[in-house]
């Protein structure tokens, strides 16, 4: 898209040069100028749609990171209190850590691509501020941790593999609501 946009700008400059030097008439200029303007509009629409998809994906990844961080904290707490044995703890912490690292890398890659797409000048949102606000909402209270631990312990007693799969409900993504408004 960036290349198409740059090409359209070059075409516009060349067209302006042709008109300025008198090599083409105003009507010919208007014809080509309309085509170039339509192409630019299409590129801008595609760019906006892509940015919205990228923003939604960043939001999804931020929610995923929050959930994984909560799970990590929960396993750490359960390990310290002796509720989870060392083997389960190591296995789960390893899986969660890999998931966290992968999600963080993907989030950073999308942020970089967004910055590149926008030329680094503008952002569709402030990821750091939004993420910090989302983190504050995601910090588990002791009541939440106790309920979650009880749930995880019950699941583990019933079926050990279910405990690893259980996770808190994902809150709605604020970023999409703000962007739609």
State residue 6's pLDDT score: 87
Return the sign of the alpha-carbon dihedral for residues 161, 146, 83, 62: positive
Neighbours of 170 (CB within 10 A): 12
Which pLDDT belongs to residue 98? 96
Q: What is the pLDDT of residues 63-90, one digit of tens each?
A: 999 999 999 999 999 999 999 999 999 9
The whole domain housing 157 covers 2-180
pLDDT digits (tens, 9 = 90+) for 25-48: 999 999 999 999 999 999 989 989
| Domains in the chain, number | 1
Per residue in 3-28, pLDDT tens? 888 899 999 999 999 999 999 999 99
CA distances from 137 to 66, 89, 134 (A): 10, 26, 5
Residue 163 pLDDT more than 50?
A: no
Q: Each residue of 50-64: pLDDT tens digit?
A: 999 999 999 999 999
Rounded Cα–Cα distance for residues 49 and 26 (Å) = 34
pLDDT of residue 147: 36
pLDDT one-digit tens code per residue, 92-114:
999 999 999 999 999 999 999 99
Specify the pTM: 0.56
Give the per-residue pLDDT at 117. 81
Query: What is the reported pLDDT for 173?
Result: 57
- Taking the mean position of all CA atoms in its chain, how far away is CA 169? 19
Residue 162 has pLDDT above 70, yes or no: no
């Amino acid at each position: 898209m960036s290349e198409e946009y740059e090409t359209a700008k070059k075409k516009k400059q060349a067209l302006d040069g042709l008109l300025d030097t008198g090599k083409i008439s105003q009507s010919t200029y208007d014809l080509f100028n309309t085509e170039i303007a339509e192409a630019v509009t299409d590129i801008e629409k595609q760019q906006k749609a892509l940015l919205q998809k990228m923003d939604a994906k960043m939001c999804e990844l931020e929610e995923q990171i929050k959930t994984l961080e909560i799970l990590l904290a929960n396993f750490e707490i359960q390990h310290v209190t002796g509720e989870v044995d060392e083997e389960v703890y190591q296995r789960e912490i390893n899986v969660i850590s890999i998931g966290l690292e992968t999600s963080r890398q993907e989030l950073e890659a999308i942020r970089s691509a967004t910055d590149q797409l926008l030329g680094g000048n503008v952002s569709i949102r402030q990821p750091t501020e939004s993420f910090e606000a989302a983190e504050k909402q995601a910090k588990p209270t002791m009541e939440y941790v106790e309920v979650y631990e009880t749930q995880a312990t019950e699941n583990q007693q019933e079926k050990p593999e279910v405990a690893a799969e259980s996770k808190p409900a994902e809150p709605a993504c604020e970023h999409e609501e703000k962007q739609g408004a």
